Amino acid sequence: MPELPEVETIVSDLRPLVDGRTVTAVDLRFPSIVRHPEPEAFARDLPGQRVVALERRGKYMLLRLGGGAVLVVHLGMTGQLLHKQPEDPYRPHTHAVLSLDNGTQLRYSDPRRFGRLLLGTEAELIAARRLPRLGPEPLDPEFTPADLHRRLAGRRAPLKLLLLDQSVLAGVGNIYADEACFRARIRPDRPAGRLSRERVRRLHAAVRESLLQGIANRGSSVDDYVDLYGARGRQQEELQVYGRGGRPCFKCGAPLTLVRLGGRATVFCRRCQR
């Protein structure tokens, strides 16, 4: 699933292309990709709306519209948002096409259809339980190690499961949780509430470093992720543990351990992460 660095890469590239642009037409080729409102209302209400700002919140793209509503794009596991010219060939599984007033198109494709498009005010989407209440942004300068410590304190769940909980921390997923735990030298299966303040300080720094490196390398293309232009990211070439179960640790040479936490494959080094 695209995580914070992948979504941030798309948002940064897309912002100058859609800022001030007006949606002129909507072509829903697979209407159920729209989860709010009904697809008919989505296709009726979105044309004529002007994009006044583009933001990222966790793993969500928020296109703020002049009328006060927001167009939300969530890529799910295999979603791709591409900026195209009308004459460009369509990718398989293209489910929605948004035409803009400068003649370009935003095309959303999603083979597994776990992504979603939403339209409405933030209050409406939260009330309808289509947009979750998200925790703090890990890259926000105001988010401190003390904030993270308070969110983990007293929790018996394994650390990684709380890092994946979007109400605890917004934007971190399987890839960057594994990488952050390795950087912090903390086992991902350790009960979160038992971490000392020093370990939480290391974890806070490691989460930020892992995400910032991912952004600098334009995301991790371990599966379906591509950027706005269809290009793969480079961060998968820098991953230390994710997806490497059984292979030697780059740091100490010991074979990396693969376990499942909450149904998610989790990789760590028993020597380096104690």
Same domain, 12 and 92: yes
Q: What is the mean pLDDT of residues 240-269?
A: 97
Which band of pLDDT confidence, cut at 50, 70 and 90, is reported for residue 260? very high
Q: What is the mean pLDDT of residues 214-220?
A: 98
Same domain, 162 and 120: no
Each residue of 51-93: pLDDT tens digit?
999 999 999 999 999 999 999 999 999 999 999 999 999 999 9
Which band of pLDDT confidence, cut at 50, 70 and 90, is reported for residue 274? confident
Q: Residues 2, 5, 39, 188: which is the catalytic one?
A: 2
Each residue of 106-124: pLDDT tens digit?
999 999 999 999 999 999 9
Q: Residues 56, 59, 151, 199: which is the catalytic one?
A: 59
For the chain, the domain total comes to 2
122 is a catalytic site residue: no
Each residue of 148-186: pLDDT tens digit?
999 999 999 999 999 999 999 999 999 999 999 999 999
Which band of pLDDT confidence, cut at 50, 70 and 90, is reported for residue 94? very high
Q: Residues 29, 50, 113, 264: which is the catalytic one?
A: 264
Domain residue limits at 166: 145-268
264 is a catalytic site residue: yes
Residues of the chain with pLDDT > 90, as a percent, come to 98
Domain assignment present for 273: no
Give the chain's mean pLDDT. 97
- Helix/strand/coil (H/E/C) assignment for every residue in the chain: CCCHHHHHHHHHHHHHHHCCCEEEEEEECCHHHEEECCHHHHHHHCCCCEEEEEEEECCEEEEEECCCCEEEEECCCCCEEEEECCCCCCCCCEEEEEEECCCCEEEEECCCCCCEEEEECHHHHHHCCCCCCCCCCCCCCCCCHHHHHHHHCCCCCEHHHHHHCCCCCCCCCHHHHHHHHHHHCCCCCCEHHHCCHHHHHHHHHHHHHHHHHHHHCCCCCCCCCCCCCCCCCCHHHCCCCCCCCCCECCCCCCECEEEEECCEEEEECCCCCC
Domain assignment present for 243: yes
CATH of residue 186: 1.10.8.50
Same domain, 116 and 153: no
